[in-house]
Structure 1
Amino acid sequence: MSMAVVGMIAGMALAFAGYFGGFGAFVLVAALGAVGFVVGRFLEGDLQAGDLFRTRDRRR
């Protein structure tokens, strides 16, 4: 499935949530979609736990 189709499906889901459930449902669907995306990337091996939690470089 291409990324354009995935984006279209995600946009349609957000539109339905916003139309039928209001702004709160829209935000909830968007947040859970983002969490699902990160978990999916982590399980596929494209993302490491260290990528999310990095220390700042203290060199100046």
Structure 2
Amino acid sequence: MSAAITGLLAGMALGFAAFFGGFWAFLLVAFLGLVGLVIGSMLQGDLVLSDFMRSRDRR
């Protein structure tokens, strides 16, 4: 699935959540979408959390 189709589906899901559920449903869907994106990127190997963590030891 292309990035444009994925973005279209995500936008439609957020739009439906905002229309039918209100602002808090919109925020919940956006947050869960972000969590899913991070987990999916980690499983696919595109995102490695250790790249964002640095040790406190700065030698």
Residue-pair matches, total: 57
List structure 1 segments (4+ residues) > 6 angstroms apart after TM superposition: none
Partner deviation per Cα, 1:1-32 (whole Å, 9 max, x = no partner): 11000000000000000000000000000000
CA shift in 2, pair 1:52/1:33, >3 Å: farther
CA shift in 2, pair 1:41/1:33, >3 Å: same
Equivalences for residues 1-60 of structure 1 within 5 A: 1-54=1-54
Distance 1:10 1:50 in 2: 28
The normalised TM-score by structure 2 is: 0.86
Distance 2:4 2:34 in 1: 17
CA shift in 2, pair 1:12/1:51, >3 Å: same
Distance 2:12 2:25 in 1: 13
